[in-house]
Structure 1
Amino acid sequence: MTSPIEIVNMSPEDYRNRKVALITGITGQDGSYLAELLIEKGYQVHGIIRRSSSFNTGRIEHLYKDAHENPKMRLHHGDLTDSTCLVHIISKVLPTEIYNLGAQSHVKVSFDMSEYTADVDAVGTLRLLDAIRTCGLAHLVRFYQASTSELYGKVAEIPQSETTPFYPRSPYGVAKMYAYWITINYREAYDMYACNGILFNHESPRRGRTFVTRKITCAVASIHLGKQECLYLGNLDAKRDWGHARDYVEGMWRMLQQETADDFVLATGEMHTVREFVEKSFKATGKTIRWEGSAEEEVGIDDEGVVRVRVDPAYYRPTEVELLLGQPAKANEKLGWKRKVTFDELVEEMVKADLVGVAAGDVFN
C-alpha cells in the first residue's frame, strides 16, 4: 500500500494511476454493482460498512469472502456520522476516487427519521468532503456524490434536466439537496474534482425489498408460487423513469473520468406508472391483471377472478411526488453514456430472479 510519504513526491497523474476506489454504501444495490465494475477495470476497491450484529454483506459476498482470497477488495468499519473514522480510513486508503453512495435512502422512512436522514445524507456528505481536505487530498481525489431525481419533487418542467429548478418533497430530498450544493460549493471553493450524479430511479434484482419495485416483483413471485395471496401498494398512478442499476453505475464511473468535474442527469427518458410495473410483473409469470374500482377501493384482479392487488393508504407519502422523467442528453453527449436495459427487460429480470429466490427461500435483499 502506498504511504503518505510516497504521495508527497507523486504527480497527480501518478497518483491517479494507482486506481484505488473508496465506496460508501458498498453493501447496497449500487455499491455492489459499482464494486464489480471497478474490479473488472483493475481497481483496488475499498468499502465502508457499518457495524452490524448480523451479516449485511450479502450483495458483495461473491466479491469478498476473505481478504486473502480476493486482495482487490477491502472492507472497513465506519459511518458517515463519524468524522474521525472517515479521516482515518481516507488517510489509510489514500483513494484516487471516492463514490459516496451511503445514505438513508428510503423516501417514506425519511418522514419518520428526518433528523437521522439529514445527519447521514446531508451532513455526512460534508464530513466526507472535509475528510478529503483534512487528509491533504483535495487536489488529488475525485469525488462522486449520489444525488437523486427526488430533488425535483414537485416538478417545475417535464422532462427534468441539469438546469431544472429543485423542489424536494421529502426530508430525504431536502437532505440530498444540501449534499448536492455542498458538493458544488467545495468544487468551486477548493478546486476539488467533485461531481453530482442526478440519478433517476434505477432498479435490479439487488434492490431492497422495501422499495416499491422489488416489493412488487417479490410479491408477484410469491403469489405465483402460492406463498402469498395479495400485494398491497400505495399510489398506483405515481410515474417514474426506471432504469437498471448496472447501467447507472457505469455512468458514475464515467463522470470521474472526464477532464473537468461536472454534474449529470442519468435517466432513460421514458416514464411508466407503478400500475404498469405491476402489470408487467404479473405478465412475466403468465398472468394478466385487470383493474376495478377507484382510489382506495381499486383492486387488481387476475385471470381467475382472484384479487391480487389492493391499495393501502398507509403507503401514501405525506407529500407525494407525482412524476419524474429525466432528460439524459448531456450524459449521452459528453459521457457517451446510454442505458442498455429496457423497461420490459428490467421487470422480467427482477421477476425471474425473485421466482428463483422465493422458491429457494432466499430473499435476503
Structure 2
Amino acid sequence: MRRALVTGCSGQDGWYLAKLLASKGYAVHGHSRRGLDLPNATAVYGGDLSDHRLLDDIIDAARPDEIYNLCSLSRPQMSWDKPLESGLVNALMPHHLFDRIRQRLPKCRVFQATSSEIFGDATEYPQSESTVPMPQTPYGIAKLYAHQMTGAYRQHYGLYVCSGILFNHESPRRPLGFVSQKIAYAAACLRLGIHTSEAMDERGSPIVKNGMLYLGNMDVHRDFGFAGDYVEAMWLMLQQSEPRDYVIGTGESHSIREFCEAAFTLVGLDWRTHVAVAPALVRAVDSRRTIADSSRARAELNWQPRTSFEELVRQMVEAQIARLQTAGATRDATL
C-alpha cells in the first residue's frame, strides 16, 4: 500500500485529493492546521507547518511515498493583510519541505501547488509553462519562490519534485471568502427568499444585504475549473517517469459578470437587479485576465477537464441551496 501525505487536507483541494487517493488504495496521511477529523485519511496531523520542527515530525511519522503540498495562505488579497505569514507558509515552508525530503526521503515524490498568480497581470494570452512570471501580490511572489525552488531542487539534487501551476478552480467546498462562492451563496439566498444573509463578507457586512450582493471589479476574467478535475492532474503528475511542471486549467476565461449571470439565471433571477459594485471591494492590484494553455498536460498526462463552466456554477448554487435549507430546518427543529 502506497502512503501519501496531503498537507492542507481539510481545504477544498485536499478533500477531493484525499478522496481520490483513498479510492486508489493509498494510505492517506492528512495534515490540517486545526487537526480536524478528515474523511478518507488514515492518520491526521494538526498544527502550523511554518513550525519546521512540526513539519519534520509529520514527515518522519508518515514516511510517505508521495507528498502533495497544498498547505497555503490561499487568498491573494489576504496576503496583503498578512504578508509575512504568506511568505512563511507559501514560500519558506515548501523550501523546508524540499530540503527535508532531500535529507531523509530522497525517493519520495513531491507535488507543489503553484498558482496562476505567479503570472500577475500578464500580457501574454494564454499563459503556459514558458510565460514570464510577473507576480503582483505577496501571495504570488511567495508562490513563485516555491515554484522556482521546485525546479532548482529537481535540477540540482535530482529529486522528483514538480509544480502544478493551478488556475482558478472552484467547487461546492470552496470557502465563502472567494468571489465564486459568494455569488453562488447570494443566488441561493435570494432563491430561498433570504434578503439579508447571516454570512458576512470581509468588511463584516452581510454578503447579501437588502437583496443585494456587492462585489469588486466585475470585468476581471478568470479561467474557472472544477477542483475535482484538477486533483486528478496532481496525481498524474507524480505517476510519470520524469518530473515536470504543468499548467492546469480549462483554456476558457469567464468574467465575474458572466459568473453572476450564470448563477442567477439558474434560480430564475436577473443578476443585474441584485448585484452592484462596491468601490471598497475593488482591488488596487489585480490581474485582469487569466487563461491557461494546458496543452502540455493534455498531451503528456492525458488529462483534460471534464466539468464545464455551466456545470460548475450549477453544482455550487445547488449545494448552497441545500446547505441553507438544511440550516433552516435545523433552526426550526430547535425552536
State whether TM-score is above 0.5: yes
Q: For 1:307-346, list aligned pairs within 5 A.
A: 308-346=274-312
Q: For 1:199-238, list aligned pairs within 5 A.
A: 199-228=166-195, 229-238=211-220
Change (3 A) 1:349 1:51: closer
How many residues align? The count is 313
For the 8 Å contact 2:225–2:308, the answer to whether it is kept is yes
Equivalent-residue separation in structure 1 for 2:100 and 2:54 (angstroms): 9
Tell which deviates more after alignment, 277-286 or 73-82: 73-82
> How many Å apart are 1:48 and its aligned residue?
1.2
> How many Å apart are 1:95 and its aligned residue?
0.1
CA-to-aligned-CA distance 1:93-125 (integer Å, 9 cap, x gap): 110000000000011111111111011100011
SS at match of 1:104: coil
Q: Which runs of 5+ in 2 are unaligned?
A: 196-210, 329-335
Matched residue type, 1:129: F
**164, 167, 174: which one pairs with 2:134?**
167
> How many Å apart are 1:80 and its aligned residue?
2.0
**75, 79, 85: which one pairs with 2:44?**
75
For the 8 Å contact 1:80–1:128, the answer to whether it is kept is no
User: Is 1:116 paired with 2:85?
Assistant: yes
Equivalent-residue separation in structure 1 for 2:250 and 2:31 (angstroms): 30
Q: For 1:113-262, list aligned pairs within 5 A.
A: 113-134=82-103, 136-138=104-106, 140-228=107-195, 229-262=211-244
SS at match of 2:251: coil
CA-to-aligned-CA distance 1:140-191 (integer Å, 9 cap, x gap): 1000000011111110310000000011111100110001001111111111
Q: Which runs of 5+ in 1 are unaligned?
A: 1-17, 65-71, 290-299, 302-307
Matched residue type, 2:134: Y
Equivalent-residue separation in structure 2 for 1:154 and 1:288 (angstroms): 31
> How many Å apart are 1:85 and its aligned residue?
1.2
> How many Å apart are 1:358 and its aligned residue?
1.2
Equivalent-residue separation in structure 2 for 1:49 and 1:27 (angstroms): 6
CA-to-aligned-CA distance 1:77-96 (integer Å, 9 cap, x gap): 23221111111111121100
Aligned to 2:331: none
SS at match of 1:361: helix
Equivalent-residue separation in structure 2 for 1:36 and 1:242 (angstroms): 22
Equivalent-residue separation in structure 1 for 2:49 and 2:267 (angstroms): 41
Matched residue type, 1:343: F
CA-to-aligned-CA distance 1:206-252 (integer Å, 9 cap, x gap): 00110000011011101111213111100100000001000000000
Aligned to 1:15: none
User: Is 1:263 paired with 2:245?
Assistant: yes
Aligned to 1:107: 76
Larger radius of gyration: 1
Equivalent-residue separation in structure 2 for 1:47 and 1:23 (angstroms): 5
In the TM superposition, structure 1's runs of 4+ consecutive aligned residues that sit over 6 Å from their partners are none
CA-to-aligned-CA distance 1:15-56 (integer Å, 9 cap, x gap): xxx41000111000000000000000000000112247xxx5
CA-to-aligned-CA distance 1:244-300 (integer Å, 9 cap, x gap): 0000000000000000000001110011000000000001112233xxxxxxxxxx2
Matched residue type, 1:353: A
For the 8 Å contact 2:102–2:159, the answer to whether it is kept is no
Equivalent-residue separation in structure 1 for 2:289 and 2:42 (angstroms): 38
Matched residue type, 2:264: F
Equivalent-residue separation in structure 1 for 2:138 and 2:186 (angstroms): 28
For the 8 Å contact 2:214–2:276, the answer to whether it is kept is yes
Equivalent-residue separation in structure 2 for 1:245 and 1:137 (angstroms): 29
SS at match of 2:152: helix
SS at match of 1:47: strand
For the 8 Å contact 2:3–2:27, the answer to whether it is kept is yes
Matched residue type, 2:45: H
> How many Å apart are 1:345 and its aligned residue?
0.4
Tell which deviates more after alignment, 180-189 or 24-33: 180-189
SS at match of 1:198: strand
User: Is 1:84 paired with 2:84?
Assistant: no
Tell which deviates more after alignment, 280-289 or 246-255: 280-289
SS at match of 1:107: coil
Equivalent-residue separation in structure 1 for 2:87 and 2:284 (angstroms): 18
Equivalent-residue separation in structure 1 for 2:316 and 2:34 (angstroms): 29
**17, 29, 33: which one pairs with 1:50?**
33
For the 8 Å contact 1:197–1:263, the answer to whether it is kept is yes
What's the TM-score once normalised by structure 2's chain length? 0.91
What's the TM-score once normalised by structure 1's chain length? 0.84
* RMSD, matched Cα: 1.3
Matched residue type, 2:237: M
SS at match of 2:77: helix
Aligned to 1:357: 323
